[in-house]
Amino acid sequence: MSELTREAIESAIEAYIDPYLDSDLISAKSIKAIDINGGEVTVEIELGFPAKGYAEELSEKISAKVNGVDGVTDSTVNVGWNIVSHAVQKGVQAVNGVKNIIAVASGKGGVGKSTTAVNLALALSAEGANVGMLDADIYGPSQPRMLGAQGAKPESPDGKSLKPINSYNLQSMSIGYLVEEDTPMIWRGPMVTQALEQLLKETQWEDLDYLVIDLPPGTGDTQLTLAQKIPVSGAIIVTTPQDIALLDAVKGLKMFEKVEVPVLGVVENMSIHICSNCGHEEHIFAEGGGQRMADDSNVDFLGGLPLDKKIRSDTDEGKPTVVADPDGQIANIYREIARRASAKLAQQKEDFTTKFPNIVIQ
Is 98-346 the same fold as 6-81? no
The DSSP secondary structure of 54-119, one letter per residue, reads THHHHHHHHHHHHHTSTT--EEEEEEEE----B--STT-PPPTTEEEEEEEE-SSSSSSHHHHHHH
98-346 is classed in which CATH architecture? 3-Layer(aba) Sandwich (3.40)
pLDDT in tens, 66-100: 999 999 999 999 999 999 999 888 888 889 999 99
pLDDT in tens, 295-341: 888 999 999 988 888 888 999 899 999 999 999 999 999 999 999 99
6-81 is classed in which CATH architecture? 2-Layer Sandwich (3.30)
pLDDT in tens, 197-246: 899 999 999 999 999 999 888 767 777 777 778 899 999 999 888 777 78
Pick from 102, 110, 96, 165: nearest CA to 129: 102
Instruction: Determine how many CB atoms are found less than 10 A away from the CB of residue 248.
Output: 18
Domain ranges of the chain: 6-81, 98-346
* Confidence (pTM): 0.91
* Confidence check: pLDDT of 275 > 70: no
When pLDDT is cut at 50, 70 and 90, the band that residue 353 belongs to is low
Please state, in angstroms and as integers, the Cα–Cα distance from residue 165 to each residue in 87, 160, 174, following that order.
28, 16, 9
Predicted pLDDT of residue 9 = 94
H, E, C per residue of 182-218: CCCCCCCHHHHHHHHHHHHHCECCCCEEEEEEECCCC
